[in-house]
Amino acid sequence: MEINGKTRTCGLIGYPVEHTLSPVIHNTLAGLTGHDLVYVPFPVEPGRIQDAVRGADALQILGLNVTVPYKSEVIACLQEVDTMAQNIGAVNTLVRTPGGYKGYNTDMEGLYRAMISEGIRIEGERILLLGAGGAARAVAHLCAMKGAEQVYMLNRTLDKAKQVAEEVNRVAGREVICPMLLQEYDKIPDGQYLAIQGTSVGLAPQDDKVVISDRAFYEKIHTGFDLIYNPWETRFMSLVRECGGRAYNGLKMLLYQGIIAYELWNDIRVPEEDTQIIYGKLQEYFGQIP
C-alpha cells in the first residue's frame, strides 16, 4: 500500500509487543477492504500507559489494541467503557471518539465467533473451565452471558475460583459457575462436556505441560478448546483427541478478536471470505497447510 497524508493509523500497545501477529491481521484486512490504514505495534514501558493513551489521542490514532500487561490498567485512561468490558474488568480494543477513547473487550466475542465457526455452541452446554485467572474469568462471563447450563471452574486455589464464581453469578443473576479445586475433577458428574483450557500451562516452549493428565478427565470431554495457539497442538488438545473428542487451539480466537476490533474502528462488517484469507496466512506462519 502507499502511505500518504490521508493514511490512518491503528496499532497495538503492550509490553513486549515484538512477537505480535496482529499486524498480519490488520494490514491484510486493510488491503482486502481497501481502507487507507496501517497498523503498527507500539511498545509501552511500565508506568507509561496513561502517557501512551493521551499521546495516541493527540496524534489522532484511529484505534488501538491493548495487550498484557495493560488490559485492566488502561481502563482508568478511557472516556467510556463498554458494558461487557466493564463486567470482565479488561479492555483490549480502544476506539477513538470526540471525547477520548472508548474501551471494548473483543477477546470474548472473538472466542464466541471462533467457536461458532467450528460448530461449537455454548448455549445449554455443561462446561469444564480450567483456570480462574484473567482469561478464564473472562471466559466465565462469556459462558454465563451466552446461556451455558453449568460451568465447573477448576483452579489450583479454591479462593480465587470462588471469587470469580461469586462475581459472575451475581452479574448473571443465577448460579451458573461452580468453583472447584483442580484435584477435585473426579467429583464432576458423569456426562459429556465442552472443556475450555484457560491457563498458560502448555504454552511454548513448555509444550508437554498440562493442567490435568488423567485420561479419565478427558473421557468426559466431547470438545476441547485451548486458548493457547502456540504450539499449534497443545498436550491438552492431544489428550482430548486421544480420548475421542474434538480439539481446537486459540488461533481463531486471536483472528476474530482482531476482526471485531477492525470492524469497530471502521464501522463495517468484514466478509467471512476475507476472514478465511487471513486465517490461511496465520496457518502458514505456523507451518500449517490451509
**Domains 8-104+252-285 and 109-249 alike in fold:** yes
Q: pTM (2 decimals)?
A: 0.94
Total number of residues shown for the chain: 290
Average pLDDT value for the chain? 96
Options 6, 71, 187, 220, the catalytic residue? 71
d(CA 261, CA 278): 15
* pLDDT per residue as tens digits for the range 226-264: 999 999 999 999 999 999 999 999 999 999 999 999 999
Give me the residue spans of the domains in the chain. 8-104+252-285, 109-249
pLDDT, tens only, 123-136: 999 999 999 999 99
* C-alpha pair distances (Å), 190 with each of 172, 216, 219: 25, 11, 10
Q: How confident is the model at residue 290 (pLDDT cuts 50, 70, 90)?
A: low
Verify whether residue 252 is a known catalytic residue: no
272 dihedral zone (left: phi>0; alpha: psi -120 to 50; beta):
alpha
User: Mean pLDDT across the stretch 149-153?
Assistant: 98
**Helix ranges (DSSP H) in 59-133:** 83-88, 106-117
Considering the domain 8-104+252-285 in this protein, what is its CATH number? 3.40.50.10860
pLDDT score for 129: 98
Say whether pLDDT at 145 is over 80. Answer: yes
Ordered DSSP codes for 231-287: SSS-HHHHHHHHTT-EEE-SHHHHHHHHHHHHHHHHT----HHHHHHHHHHHHHHTT
Residue 2: the pLDDT is 84
pLDDT the model gives residue 287 = 87
Class of domain 109-249: alpha beta
Stretch among 36-40, 84-88, 116-120, 218-222 having the lowest mean pLDDT: 84-88
